[in-house]
Structure 1
Amino acid sequence: MAADAQDVETDEELEGLLEFLRDARGFDFSGYKRSSLGRRIRKRMSDVGIDSYADYRDQLETNAGEFGALFNTILINVTSVFRDADAWTFLQREVVPELLAQVGGEEEIRVWSAGCSSGEEAYSLAIMFAEALGLEEALNRVKIYGTDVDDEALRDARSGLYPAKTLEPLAPELRDKYFEQNGSQYSFRSDLRRRVIFGRHDITRDAPISRLDLLVCRNTLMYFNVEAQTQIIDRFHFALREGGFLFLGKAEMLLNDSDRFDVMSMRQRVFRRRPGEASTPYQPVPVKMRQGFGLEVQSVTRNRQLRDLILDASPGAALAVDVDGIVVLINNHARVQFGLTANDIGRPFQDLEISYRPVELRSLIEQATHERRTLRVNGAERRVGDDVQYFDILIQPLVGSAGLPAATNITFTDVTVATQLKAEVKRVREDLETAYEELQSTNEELETTNEELQSSIEELETTNEELQSTNEELETTNEELQSGNEELETMNEEMRIRSEELDEARAFLEGVLTSIAAAVVVLDKSFKVKSWNRGATDLWGLRQDEVVDEPFFGLDFGLPTNELLATVEQCVKTRRRGATAVINAVNRLGRHITCTVQCSPFDGHRGGVVLLMEEGRSDGTE
């Protein structure tokens, strides 16, 4: 009897620890098998020399780093490239040809690697489809999602870096084709890497990725109890298209589900979703807590998880702040985008970096609440290291049933690509217009370049219009919005390539201007310096960053600029080239020179003049 009482007490302490992990870090292990879960937790307790669950909870509360060690112990990340070669061979020879035949020649192929750990399985899928379709077609059609709950494993997956030992199962020719050596490690090729998207996802709680052709979840279900496995399979069934394939691990079975799945190979654990809907559509029902926590705890958990599923299905990052300035809701997009966690719920909003960066939100919340109207901030800039992001922010006050302010909902829409594209196009256009007037001697080459740039700009504008149209269509339903965002990722890649082409053209034009030996100075209509080439630097000794946007006639260098004022003013007034001025000056070496100055009107952006200055003979004095 004493032993039974001790077991009951231990079970209660374990459940209390699991509840603490869920509330403190957002990890809900309630669906995991208690035997294996308890064994792993006790192993970690033994490693740190702790005997009781209560003492170990104290250790977690005082040492935040212990959470990571515990999660790594619980979430065993065992994977490799093309793990279980026979199963992958069956997939390549039997499943992939049938999958490609039923998808068609133009449709996108969608694949989900659930529980991807450090990414080897997701990259194996990318290699498999690249070999089956050809690299070019795979880059255009295949999209692979790799998800896991372990953030540390996901960081390794996103890097795409693996030691040579990890790639030993891969044939040398495939390794050389899909990996590049980077020191002592190998990195997955960058173009195909962009077709693999990694993200945090809990298959027991988060909404599943939809419209899949292939779903791979190998040796992950075995860690969950029967109830959790049933609910996960329901979600997988919802995620797959009719005829889509489910690929499980050797340690897992899919029994008593013949009304929804056909067996392709029980030995290799490959199943196919049957046509029709043999069960009720997917409902985001959370995994229930074990009996003993009570109906109240179960109801609160269900309501919270339903709320989280709804929030995570929203198109962008969102959070909510109550009237006391306390964070009450954070969706998955906001956690990923801004580095927030479930533990930030309940904290004062002013303590979070998001409250003042990328824009001061606290005053806007007060204004929106006071005026009872929605406020919008367009193009707010946020810097993360060397990266710059832009967001449209919507601050929406929420009113309770009594007509009093209840909370404020804040949503963030990422407009980085559109903003950068607009600035890049504007910058390139200005550069082209200026260069066209200054480099008439290379007119034939510039015309060819201009045609290519114009074609690129038209393609980018067309793509942008398609993106805007797609976004408008996607506002109807969450499912349509998710599909549209996936299309945008492909178009974003095209924009990046076009932007690189535009940067290269701009660099070419700047190089041509720089290569002119004479001093060329461009003044705007208010006589401020807008361009100062290398010839001007060599002649007068002033660098471009010292003179740009400075009044030309206020600069102190070897040329008496006041002698040019009348000529420049006359040129601006008449818009005709002035007479060549010959002025005695002193160059950067202190030598007296005769400088010839030709003033020409600049009919480019906002007017101004172009001064062409060349050094004449020296009088021989220092």
Structure 2
Amino acid sequence: MSYVQEVESDEELESLLGFLRDARGFDFTGYKRSTLGRRIRKRMAEVDVASYPDYRDRLETDSGEFNALFNTILINVTSVFRDPDAWTFLQREVVPEVIAQREPDEEIRVWSAGCSSGEEAYSLAIMFAEALGNEEAMSRVKIYGTDVDEEALREARSGLYSAKALEPLSVELRDKYFECNGARFSFRSDLRRRVIFGRHDITRDAPISRLDLLVCRNTLMYFNVEAQTQIIDRFHFALREDGFLFLGKAEMLLNDSDRFDVASMRQRVFRRRPGAGGPPYPPSTVKIRAGMGAELQTAVRTRHLRDLILDAIPGAVLAIDAEGMVVLVNGHARTQFGLAEGDLGRPFQDLEISYRPVELRSLIEQATHERRTLRINAAERHIGEEVQNFDILIQPLISPTGLPIGTTVTFTDVTVATQLKAEVKRVREDLETAYEELQSTNEELETTNEELQSSIEELETTNEELQSTNEELETTNEELQSGNEELETMNEEMRVRTEELDETRAFLDGVLSSIGAGVVVLDRDLKVKSWNTGAIDMWGLRSDEVLDQSFFGLDFGLPAEALRDVILKCLDTGQRAVPLYVAAVNRIGKTLTCAVRCSPYEGHRGGVVLLMEESRNGASG
């Protein structure tokens, strides 16, 4: 089939489905198209219709065809306690827990969705009656059986089943819950009142609520993914917390772990999880504090006050005059660099501090010459294994007349700050390295996550395909089972007809055997089709020697050629001929006059019947 033909066929199928919905209220738009198309084409082949538009015309002119089509689409394959292992798990594990969750006087509610002809709903009634006892089950348990097939619901409401349909039940349970009603068995009437049947479309109608157990087996597999999702949403709403969902062996909940727990994946039993948790924890707030600063105001009024202030300065301070002589050393400079009062008045170049931790003489000349302040940051001073760091500020002193009169050198100990800065730098570098590694790891994780996500999606796709294939196989299996049941029915009908045919044949053989005269039946080709006992006794030939042999080729005491004209005339005219008397010799060699009567035979393909008997009046012809 070409692509265009496939598209046209799909459009024609959708048009037919819309017609079914508008004409009869059966909405099959959520069903899988492969299953629908196959079932509809099966019915079309049965009524010898080639296209969907022609079949729609057939539906419009023959209202009875709707029921035949719906019976074909809605495959009602079910039985009492179908899949015994699953029902055993339900009886041993689920039913006791359902009963334990309810108070002794509280109602237990059960729903059999897609119940077909009712065997599943009655199986549930038997199961709860066995667990609670008949009296308590009749007062507490309410079972709802629903389906879209009205014909199946009528059968379910009757509660009548054949002995073959109840074969999965033990004889004890059958006699306990079913009463013999002629050739069939009816479900016991008192417990039957607790089972309520009604039409319900699980894709459109509001679900039955507050359920303890919901059974929907081999129904979801006929719907597409969107319809299945909507149905599961309705089922989740219908169940109480901790209520159970029982599905068919080809069905499962693939992406609903947040709403359902698995009670038994093998038996397809799931439990509704409790509701969601509370709101997220609120984030805390962040407070920011500000620091305060202080301003130092100095005023040099006297030398003594100047010295006190210089000693109070946290850094080490030196002053050198224009001649390069040391004129001032504060207390921190003496302590920090080992200077003394005796170093005042000495040439600055003679002191170690002039070249260690850094060459200051050239910097002092540069600052004086350029008349600007110079700054050296984090100069290192090594004392043994210890390292000190100083920020050095070189400031030229200019007189009011504009001439340089000296230079001050201030040392600020930044060892801790430098070490802290170095530590911060190292930590920053480590953090940057770690961040880069984290970024690289994150990218690798993202790549891995994408690959994993891709693998998960592929697995989900494969799982969906497997699930769809499994559902298709299960659908095909049910179709085959339905076909087998039809074949069994046909075989039974053929057996009955064969018995009737055997009886008729035995009756005919008895009639022919009871006739004393010889009776021979010839077909239109003048071959022997029947040779009775009278003919055997008269001519001495057994029936197995003459059957399907040409009558005129037989060698016996009757001159067959003398009868040819009479036989051919009887075949042509279809009228009985007058008796013909022929001289013959019987099986023991006795000469006799044989009276032959030729009559037309209007059975299969036609022929003639020859009645032969010895003439008593001695006539001849």
TM-score by length of 1: 0.44
Higher Cα Rg, which structure: 2
TM-score by length of 2: 0.44
